[in-house]
C-alpha cells in the first residue's frame, strides 16, 4: 500500500496519516489480499497499480471460483481500490459482477441457531466461591461473563484498560476507546452488582480479578493478562481461546466460535423482552442497523432494562 502512495508522490508525513486511517486488523486483511493481487498481476504481466478493469474482474472471478464469499471479495476490491487510480467502487462492470456474485453465493448467517446461555451460566455459577478458584478459572469466568453481559467482541475485550473502568458501590462502568469510523459509538457498558446471584455477578468477579492480579501485572494497564508468567497483557487470540475453552467445558458444540457469544447474548436478551434499542446500544449497532434481525436473532437451543441483568437473569 505504501508503495502505491509513494508512486503518487506523497511525502512521508502524508503517507503516515493515510496509513493511520486503517485499523491494524484491516491492514492485515488488506495485506493478504494485495499479496494475492500482486502475484496474479505478475503472472499475467499486468501493472498492479494501473490494471484494466478486465484484469480486476478476472482476478475476483478466480477467487470466487476458489470459494471466496461475497464479503471477502468485497473486502478484496476495497484493498485493490487503495492502490489503483481507477474508481473500482462505482465501475459499472464491477457493480454487475458483484450483483452476480451475490445471486450465485448470497451472504447468509453463520448460525441458524445458537446455544442457550443458561447452560454456560450454570457452569460459571459452579465456579464459586471465587477465592477457591485458580487464576485460570477466574480469568475464563470473567471473560465469558463480560462477553455475555456486555455483547462486546473479543477484540473489544482485549482492549479494555484498567483506567477505563470506574467502580462505584452499585455499578461498574467500562468505556473502551478504540480506532473506529468517525461518529461511531464507542463501546460502553454499565454493569450493576448482581446481589441476587453473586456466583455469576460480573462486577464482583471483575473486582476480585483486579485484586488477585494487582501484584502480577506490574505496569500492565490492560485488564486481561495471561495467567502464566510473565503475565503480559492478553491479545485477542488469547481472549478467543479462553472463550472457546469455556464453551468446550460446557459441552457446547465445537462448531461455535468465540464470536458466537454475541449471537447467544443478544438473542437471549431479545427473547426475554429487552428493548431492541438497548440491545443495539450494547452490541454497538446504530439505531438504523438491521444487523440483529439479519444475522444475530437466532433460535436458542433448549428454549421453551439493563443488558447484563437481562442476560444473566
Where residue 231 falls (left for φ over 0; alpha for ψ -120 to 50; beta otherwise) is left
Residue 131 sits in the same domain as residue 276? yes
74 and 121 co-located in one domain: no
- Global pTM reads 0.62
- 283 and 247 both lie in a single domain: yes
Domain range for 208 is 113-300
pLDDT in tens, 59-69: 999 999 999 99
The closest of 178, 204, 180 to 191, measured between CA atoms, is 204
Q: CA 217, 220, 225, 230 torsion: positive or negative?
A: negative
**Average pLDDT for 13-25:** 80
pLDDT of the residue at 253:
83
Output the pLDDT for position 310.
59
* Residue 5 and residue 84 in one domain: yes
Average pLDDT over residues 155-165: 94
Q: Average pLDDT for residues 213-232, to the nearest whole number?
A: 94
Q: What is the mean pLDDT of the chain?
A: 81
Q: Count of domains in the chain? A: 2
Q: Is the pLDDT of residue 35 over 50?
A: yes
130 plus 35 within the same structural domain: no
**Most confident option among 1-5, 180-184, 216-220:** 216-220
User: Can you tell me the mean pLDDT for 248-267?
Assistant: 78
Residues 168 and 257 placed together within one structural domain of the fold: yes
Is 307 inside a domain boundary? no
Side-chain half-sphere CA neighbours of 202 within 13 A: 27
> Any idea what the CATH number is for the domain that residue 50 is in?
1.10.150.130
- The domain that holds 205 is classified in CATH as 1.10.443.10
Has residue 274 got a pLDDT over 50?
no
Q: Are residues 100 and 229 in the same domain?
A: no
pLDDT digits (tens, 9 = 90+) for 77-116: 999 998 888 888 889 999 999 999 999 988 765 545 667 7
Q: Taking the C-alpha atoms of 136, 264, 167 and 171 in order, what is their torsion angle to the nearest 10 degrees?
A: -140
Note whether residue 263 is domain-resident: yes
Amino acid at each position: 500500500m505504501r508503495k502505491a502512495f509513494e508512486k503518487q508522490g506523497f511525502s512521508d508525513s502524508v503517507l503516515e496519516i493515510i496509513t493511520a486511517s486503517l485499523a491494524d486488523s484491516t491492514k492485515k486483511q488488506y495485506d493478504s489480499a494485495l499479496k494475492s493481487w500482486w502475484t496474479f498481476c505478475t503472472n499475467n504481466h499486468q501493472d498492479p497499480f494501473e490494471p484494466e478493469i478486465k484484469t480486476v474482474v478476472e482476478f475476483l472471478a478466480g477467487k470466487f471460483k476458489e470459494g471466496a464469499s461475497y464479503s471477502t471479495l468485497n473486502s478484496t476490491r476495497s484493498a485493490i481500490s487503495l492502490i489503483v487510480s481507477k474508481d473500482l467502487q462505482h465501475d459499472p462492470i464491477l457493480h454487475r459482477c458483484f450483483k452476480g456474485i451475490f445471486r450465485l453465493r448470497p451472504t447468509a448467517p453463520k448460525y441458524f441457531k445458537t446455544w442457550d446461555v443458561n447452560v454456560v451460566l450454570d457452569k460459571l455459577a459452579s465456579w464459586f466461591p471465587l477465592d477457591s478458584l485458580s487464576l485460570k478459572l477466574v480469568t475464563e469466568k470473567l471473560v465469558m461473563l463480560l462477553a455475555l453481559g456486555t455483547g462486546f467482541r473479543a477484540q473489544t475485550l482485549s482492549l479494555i484498560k484498567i483506567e477505563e473502568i470506574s467502580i462505584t458501590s452499585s455499578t461498574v462502568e467500562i468505556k473502551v476507546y478504540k480506532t473506529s469510523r468517525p461518529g461511531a459509538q464507542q463501546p460502553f457498558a454499565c454493569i450493576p452488582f448482581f446481589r441476587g446471584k453473586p456466583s455469576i455477578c460480573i462486577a464482583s468477579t471483575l473486582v476480585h480479578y483486579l485484586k488477585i492480579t494487582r501484584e502480577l501485572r506490574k505496569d500492565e494497564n490492560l485488564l486481561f493478562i495471561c495467567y502464566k508468567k510473565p503475565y503480559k497483557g492478553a491479545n485477542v487470540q488469547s481472549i478467543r481461546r479462553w472463550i472457546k475453552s469455556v464453551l468446550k467445558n460446557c459441552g457446547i458444540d465445537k462448531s461455535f466460535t468465540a464470536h458466537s457469544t454475541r449471537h447467544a447474548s443478544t438473542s437471549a436478551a431479545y427473547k426475554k423482552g429487552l428493548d431492541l434499542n438497548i440491545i443495539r446500544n450494547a452490541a454497538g449497532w446504530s439505531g438504523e442497523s438491521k444487523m440483529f434481525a439479519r444475522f444475530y436473532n437466532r433460535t436458542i437451543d433448549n428454549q421453551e432494562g439493563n443488558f447484563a441483568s437481562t442476560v444473566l437473569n
